[in-house]
Amino acid sequence: MTTTTTTAGEQAARDRDLVARYGSPLYVYDLDRVARARADLRAALPDGVTLYYSLKANPHPGLVRALREGPGGCRAEVCSTGELASALEAGHRAESILYSGPGKTAGELAVALAEGVRTFSVESAGDLRRLGAQAVRQGVVAQVLLRVNSAAAAATTSIRMTGTPSQFGIDAETLPGLLPALLDVPGTAVAGAHFFPLSNSKDEESLIAEFTATIEQAANLQSELGLPLRMLDIGGGFAAPYSVPGERPVYPNLRAALEKTLDTRLPRWREGGVEIACESGRHLVGDSGRLLTSVTNVKESRGRTFAILDAGINTLGGMAGLGRLLPLSVDPAFHRTGEPVPVSLAGPLCTPGDLLSRSVRMPPPEPGDVLAVPNTGAYGPTASLLLFLGRPAPVELLLSGGEVVSASRLVTTRTEVV
């Protein structure tokens, strides 16, 4: 893929032009960067590994479609009927989708099964029984991955997702007593195991250690307990910077390390005896996005400068809700000269919690200035307080080859329930 270098001034001019055409706040996603992220991750994984895109990072159907199409296309991992609808809209076949999540209701399981989804990750015995009951009603059999909450953690960094009391997964130490009953739930067939031990691992050593421990534990469950292992989802944990400058990490040693462990513990994987899968969200789309936001007002208050933006926690909430500040940085698209000063960036909402940063150093802002928040392709609008105070959702643009190929806005409506 041919790439061109864009200067800061050229990028600023393009940002201002996009805001003039589409308004702000405005999310801009570059599909070329999405393709590069997928290619890089594919290169870091052994050949034949199934790669799922986790829609929780960004369910925009255009992004989901781009990750599905072309060489090394991703399958879809969803956690709700809304994400399922986005995956189907993007062209995914229902039978290729993995449905996961700790709070699956009987109603949504019925919808997923009716749409043709057949592979589910289950988090508990109750989750499995609910799935089985719905499958029996529809006369089908659901293929099941048992999500395992390991008793110990191998990695020492990143966001821990295992090794502690959790709503996620079946505690590993309980499996010997539970497995016979789990294998005998009508409407289901246990196909393997699902692990997700950590998230956002910038440290390749920790990522390798956790994947190695996962593969070893799955092999032990198969040999010692008789756990069926036609498929093993080893999870994810691939990192990307969020709302700050930085480069998406690469994992040059991961492929060889995974192949070595798989060859030792699950040697049938190369012939397809065990399908190995992993999943990624932020790593695939995080560095594709920029949030453009305009300064609507500037004020001084007791020695502090506040820039009031048209984007707040309703636009870039980062799953945080009220009261948590993001480690946020901005590129001033206006490229104003002047000695940088500390500026508090506040959103447009009528709550003191709508503060994106208390101290971003930037040239003194003025109303009408456009700011750009980098690396916001993941956990943007749908991870924010989008409905709070009823402000319009931001426009979302898709670029390919530098040209706009899609412009859309999420719209919410209230309907009567009967």
State which amino acid sits at residue 167: Q
CB 41 within 8 A of CB 280: yes
Q: How far apart are CA 246 and CA 329, in angstroms?
A: 11
Q: How distant, in Å, are the alpha carbons of 132, 152, 180, 330 from that of 184?
A: 10, 28, 7, 55
What six digits make up the tokens of 240? 């990307």
The pLDDT assigned to 2 comes to 47
CA neighbours closer than 13 Å in the CB half-sphere of residue 141: 9
Give the C-alpha separation, 188 to 278, whole Å: 22
In the prediction, which pLDDT does 4 show? 59
pLDDT the model gives residue 320: 53
Task: Record the tokens describing residue 347, joined without a space.
Answer: 């959103």
Structure confidence at residue 153 (pLDDT): 54
Structure tokens at 363: 């040239």
Which pLDDT belongs to residue 182? 97
Burial environment of residue 415 by CB neighbours within 10 A (0 to 12, 13 to 18, 19 or more): exposed
**Two structure tokens written together for 291:** 């949030």
Strand pairing partners for 98?
A: 77, 119
CA distances for 348 relative to 107, 307, 308, 324, 364, angstroms: 37, 10, 7, 16, 19
Chain centre distance of CA 94: 20
Separation of alpha carbons 157 and 88, rounded Å:
36
Task: Give the number of other Cβ atoms within 10 Å of residue 390's Cβ.
Answer: 8
Report, in this order, helix, strand and coil percent for the chain, each rounded to 5: 35, 25, 45
| Sequence-distant (≥ 6) Cβ neighbours of residue 347 within 8 angstroms | 308, 309, 310, 311, 312, 313, 314, 315, 354, 355, 356
> Which H, E and C letters describe 76-119, residue by residue?
EEECCHHHHHHHHHCCCCHHHCEECCCCCCHHHHHHHHHHCCCE
pLDDT along the chain (418 residues), means of 10: 67 92 98 97 97 98 97 96 98 98 95 98 96 98 95 52 66 92 98 89 89 96 96 95 92 97 96 96 97 96 95 84 67 81 94 89 93 95 91 97 96 90
Which pLDDT does position 157 carry in this prediction? 47
The answer to whether 161 and 169 have CB atoms below 8 angstroms apart is no
- β-strand 142-149 against 26-30: which pairing, if any? unpaired
Strand pairing class (50-54; 304-309): unpaired
Strands (E) in 97-244, as ranges, are 98-99, 119-122, 142-149, 159-160, 170-171, 188-194, 198-199, 231-233
Are the CB atoms for 316 and 326 separated by under 8 Å?
Answer: yes
In this structure, CATH architecture of domain 31-285: Alpha-Beta Barrel (3.20)
User: Which residues make Cβ contacts (< 8 Å) with residue 291, sequence separation at least 6?
Assistant: 25, 26, 27, 28, 243, 311, 315, 316, 372, 373, 376, 380, 394
Q: Tell me how far CA of residue 321 lies from CA of 240, 355, 359, in angstroms.
A: 21, 11, 20
| Residue-wise pLDDT tens digits, 369-398 | 999 999 999 999 999 999 989 999 999 999
pLDDT given at position 118: 98
Beta pairing, strands 75-78 & 98-99 = parallel
Tell me the fold of 287-409.
Lyase, Ornithine Decarboxylase; Chain A, domain 1 (2.40.37)
For the whole prediction, is pTM greater than 0.75?
A: yes
Residue 354 near residue 346, CB atoms below 8 Å = yes
Domain ranges of the chain: 31-285, 287-409
